[in-house]
Amino acid sequence: MMSELRKVTLSDGELFVRDQGQGETILFVHGFPLDHSMWDAQVNALSSSYRCLAVDLRGFGRSTVTSGTVTMEQMADDLAAMLDGLNITQPVTLCGLSMGGYVAWQFWKRHSSRLAALILCDTRAIADTEEGAKQRLETADRVEAEGSGFLAEAMLPKLYAETTYHARPEMIEDARRVILATAPSGIAAAARGMAQRPDVTSWLPEIDVPALLITGEQDAISPAAEMAAIAQAMPRGTHAIIPTAGHMAPQEQPDAVNAALRAFLLNLK
């Protein structure tokens, strides 16, 4: 089912956001190159107790596309401006997956007074290697030149666990549709932004909000051992590994992920 999105006007564009439920705010931030809909199972389950915001980042979904480079810092600032636009002044729980996690680190750095807690799904604290960054820049140029079809085919098998990939063709098809519908220049700008993101490992001991880290056991992009080390470096970090899931654990195993989120959120009260 398509959910209705709300439009929030920023100083230089618009962000679209699914805004559902009442109570303390959880802000869900999607991975690359997807959109808010990857969080549908979380919003559907948690909006009975929380105000759930699932945003389309700049360049994704229906939100404003800015070509060139869009940094993780800019995306974090967009989120703060969106909260202003929605008159949300209370600190929020930010739940980001992968690129959404890269944005979450920057949100902590730049807007920490607005942050009550962090949920980091399938993400990394380190920067790209030189080779990794070079590949991203090549990908960005290629997406602009020929569209996102090749990227969808290259990424989909990496995003999902092999079991999901074969057993849930409709989930893979939905993700493919989202990627193909995304503006190539938005994808390219975010890829360039990720290529220049900093290594935030040295920040981790200072991030003292309650933090839940979640990894799909078979995540090929942000391995569980790496996320366990991030959780250990954060003063209030805990780590949950989700069986039979890859990088897209919240979509692949929504019940297990939602149970982990609920337990964490209840503990915050």
Chain positions contacting ligand MLT, by CB under 6 A = 31-32, 98-99, 194, 221, 247
Residue placing its CB nearer to ligand MLT in the complex, 41 or 221:
221
Q: How far is the CB of 10 from ligand MLT (least distance, A)?
A: 22
Location of structure tokens 């989202």? 178
In angstroms, give the least distance from the CB of 31 to ligand MLT.
3
CA distances from 240 to 84, 217, 234, 261 (A): 32, 9, 14, 10
Task: Give whichever of 18 and 247 is closer to ligand MLT, judged by the CB atom.
Answer: 247
- Tell me the CA end-to-end span of the chain in Å, nearest whole number: 32
SS3 assignment, position 240:
strand
- Among 137, 140, 152, 36, which Cα is nearest to 95's? 36
Minimum distance from CB of 87 to ligand MLT (Å)?
29
Do residues 124 and 146 make contact, with C-beta atoms less than 8 angstroms apart? no
Q: Which is nearer to ligand MLT, 99 or 200 (CB)?
A: 99
In this structure, how many other beta carbons lie within 10 angstroms of the beta carbon of residue 18? 22
CB of 266 to ligand MLT, least distance (A): 27
- Give residue 99's identity as a one-letter amino acid code: M
Q: 47 vs 222, which CB is nearer to ligand MLT?
A: 222
